[in-house]
Amino acid sequence: MDLHNTDDAVTRRVKAITERVAHVKANDLYFYNQPVEEVLPGMKVRVRGREMGMYASYSYLGLINHPRINEASKKALDQFGTGTNGVRSLAGTLTLHTELEETIANFKHAEAAVTYSSGYATNLTVVSTLMGRGDYVFSDKLNHASIVDGCLMSGAEFRRFRHNDMEHLEGLLKNAPTDIAKLVIADSVFSMDGDIIDLPKTVELCKKYNAWLMIDEAHSVGVLGAKGTGIEEHFNMYGGIDIKMGTLSKTIPSVGGYVAANKDIITYLRHASRAYIFSAALPPAQAVAANEAFKVILDEPWRIERLNQNTKQFIGGLKGMGFDTMLTETAIVPVLCGTDEMAFAMTREAQHNDVFVLPVVSPAVPEGLAPGAGSLVAALRASTEREPSVTIGKPGAPMFEAALRVVGTQPQHTLMIGDRLNTDIEGAAVLGLATALVLTGVSTRAEAETAIRPPDGVYDNLVALLSAWGSAL
């Protein structure tokens, strides 16, 4: 099909992205897909011929290029070659895979474990395999996209609770039918904000309302707990999580994902989850690398101690300079820039000073500026030939906090109605306000369904909203 002579939804979506990429590249603000030319000692890399400090890596414990892990991978490569004979359920299972799964089960204090080819596929297939039509799934609003996609794919009734808001979660659980399967799912450490799920309260609610609990530990293994075993160790409470999901591509320097649970659930997933049945097995070298990495974490606890020290120092330093790092208490340290444009500009400045960071912009997070603020800033920039040091506006907290003071209400008792996800809904959700998106402005229903912080409700217009919320208001 000729895109130049076609005008349909696909063409418009493709055109919007390609034009955006071209614009960013033209302004020397495109930083994605930069190839790392060399991994250097001391958490440094060589990019575009320049030596930079690596601040964008998920290698929390610095296990990439660990000699023990490299040596184990080389031996596996010599013994088994570069690939397997197929999918795991047929000819693709090697002794290396079963050894890895035993290691994971022991590491995560579970009866058994199963591995998949990627973390994204793990969440997608596990949620959609366990849950189905008529079931209910409850997901934290800031959960990873793979969880959201798995929930949508399952066909279950999908309910999002406000981020780490246990009161809201309980309300949703209380209103759900009692005679159906229920699954509560949340990140352990949230991938954009770096804060931690309230596990004790979540476990309590799941037991109270007879719900299964699944926790995504992609960013907590090697990060939380004195031994780095994850969120259960962090809270010193084992046994409350039914399904423990994790990845093999962050602290663990390999590729893939896993689930640790009781033997019956693992048996079910091996015979019912499509990503296991229809995906190739992990390559031998990667399976062995992951297996050895779990052992290194236990053998070298000083790495976790150093990570914690570095994290505290880094967050403290950024806050001391006035940066907004949100509620993080882990090695995921967001620096809130406010707009895509500012994120790109700050990235460029950092990389020009040999600090390798990367911008996280829309669609991974909501995009853009509030309409009025953008034009004002542009006018000031042009007239003064200076860049603003601080911009206050939506989705920044000060505007919403000021509004709450004027109205004299609390966030949990306040509804924010807006037509932009990235400003109105984003800013209100961060402060814990209920949110309603009306489709009479910028954002669409499709964008709301995939938003990092989706609204509590989506309505065609104010009339539809008032009709739905009338009794509550």
Catalytic residue among 128, 188, 191, 220: 191
Catalytic residue among 250, 254, 279, 443: 250
Please say whether the beta carbons of 103 and 291 come within 8 A.
yes
Please say whether the beta carbons of 460 and 468 come within 8 A.
no
Which residues, including other chains, have CB under 8 Å from residue 381's CB and lie 6 or more apart?
387, 388
Which residues, including other chains, have CB under 8 Å from residue 430's CB and lie 6 or more apart?
326, 395, 397, 453
Q: Which of 390, 343, 332 is CA-nearest to residue 30?
A: 343
Identify the helix (H) or strand (E) that includes residue 416: strand 415-418
- The DSSP symbol for 283 reads P
**Whether 146 is catalytic:** no
Which residues, including other chains, have CB under 8 Å from residue 437's CB and lie 6 or more apart?
418, 419, 421, 424, 425, 443, 448, 455, 457, 458, 459
**Whether 250 is catalytic:** yes
**Whether 279 is catalytic:** no
The CA distance from 106 to 118, in Å, is 21
What 3-state class would DSSP assign to 473?
Answer: coil
Please say whether the beta carbons of 317 and 124 come within 8 A.
no
Catalytic residue among 66, 219, 234, 244: 219
The CA distance from 255 to 241, in Å, is 24
Helix locations, 115-161, DSSP H: 119-130, 145-154
Rg (alpha carbons) of the chain, rounded to whole number: 23
Q: Pull the structure tokens for residue 248.
A: 């093999």
Q: Provide the residue count of the chain.
A: 473
The CA distance from 356 to 31, in Å, is 10
Q: In this structure, what are the phi and psi dihedrals at residue 312, rounded to the nearest 5 degrees?
A: -60, -45
Q: Known catalytic residues?
A: 191, 219, 250
